[in-house]
Amino acid sequence: MNLLGVVFGLASAASWGAGDFSGGLASKRANVYAVVMLSQWAGLVLLAGLALLFAEPVPPVADMGWAAGAGLAGGLALAALYRGLAVGRMGVVAPISAVVSAAVPVLFGLYTEGLPGADQLLGFAFAFIAVWLVSRSDSLDQARGQALVLALLAGLGFGLFLIVIDRLSSTAVLWPLVTARAASIFLISLTAVLLRQTALPAPRHLPLILVVGLFDAGGNALYALAARAGRLDVAAVLSSLYPAATVLLARFILQERLTRPQWIGVAAALLAVVLIAV
């Protein structure tokens, strides 16, 4: 196994997990649409700079079109995820969204390529167990129910992102991500205007939002490096462990407490992600 690919894959998971935690924290303090839009701008600048630095060739127009479609799905998924992380428990929302995002491409493959392997079927079983355990509560209030729905929507959006981005050729990595960011910014901006959610965050919140964008884009870049340095499937499995970082940060920084069944559910969700992604 290529050690460099493993290091990049784990770094990608840590970066995405920290980005999700920061995004949920920022969305508790500012308009979620502003958080997504401004963080996506930060990520776009970083990814475009890396593409220019590495002199990556511009991909075909068809690839850019698929990338834009992926960006539309990813942008809405981020908005749902950050809102879910803001109103619910991060230790619940992050694993559930990860399970769904891993399951959606597998279900799509079931339709296009047939029945998945035994590992993936076992992963589905763990996923259902995880959803049931983490959503258990003595009093399932409206906010917690809303967070669960948002987590499912976020996972669906991220799953669609993975399906669409898979249609790209292997000629470039960074420029398609730049295109996806641009499409995401356009959609989120338009949605914010239509819903009259255009309030800008206070200046004191901008550094945290900038961190969100850098972690998110950094996770994408590290994932691309992991896939190139080692096996693609290994990179996918390792990077899919990003909810672990979100859960740990929520536990130690926000002192977020989960019940024992919910902790078991979180563990089941992480195991389900690994089995489904294999």
Chain centroid to CA 109: 20
Q: Are 209 and 42 in contact (CB under 8 A)?
A: yes
Position 105 pLDDT exceeds 80: no
**CA 265/CA 18 separation, integer angstroms:** 21
Mean pLDDT (whole number) for 83-107 = 82
Position 183 pLDDT exceeds 90: yes
Mean pLDDT (whole number) for 24-44 = 89
Position 191 pLDDT exceeds 90: no
pLDDT category, 209, cuts 50, 70, 90? very high
* Residue 60 to residues 64, 94, 118, 227, Cα–Cα distance (Å): 7, 34, 37, 21
Position 236 pLDDT exceeds 70: no
Position 210 pLDDT exceeds 50: yes
- pLDDT for the residue numbered 54: 84
Q: Are 226 and 5 in contact (CB under 8 A)?
A: yes
Tens of pLDDT, residues 125-145 = 887 787 667 655 544 455 567
Mean pLDDT (whole number) for 166-194 = 84
Between 115 and 100, the higher pLDDT residue: 100
Question: What are the domain boundaries of the chain?
Answer: 3-277
- Give the helix/strand (H/E) hosting 274: helix 260-277
Mean pLDDT (whole number) for 92-115 = 78
Average pLDDT, the chain: 82
Position 228 pLDDT exceeds 90: no
- pLDDT for the residue numbered 113: 67
Position 1 pLDDT exceeds 60: no
- pLDDT for the residue numbered 154: 92
- pLDDT for the residue numbered 141: 53
pLDDT category, 235, cuts 50, 70, 90? low
Q: Among 5-19, 176-190, 225-239, which stretch is predicted with the lowest mean pLDDT?
A: 225-239
Between 127 and 170, the higher pLDDT residue: 127
The number of beta carbons lying within 10 Å of the beta carbon of residue 277 is 24
Give phi and psi for 60, each to the nearest 5: -60, 160
Mean pLDDT (whole number) for 157-172 = 76
**pTM for this model (two decimals):** 0.79
Mean pLDDT (whole number) for 249-273 = 80
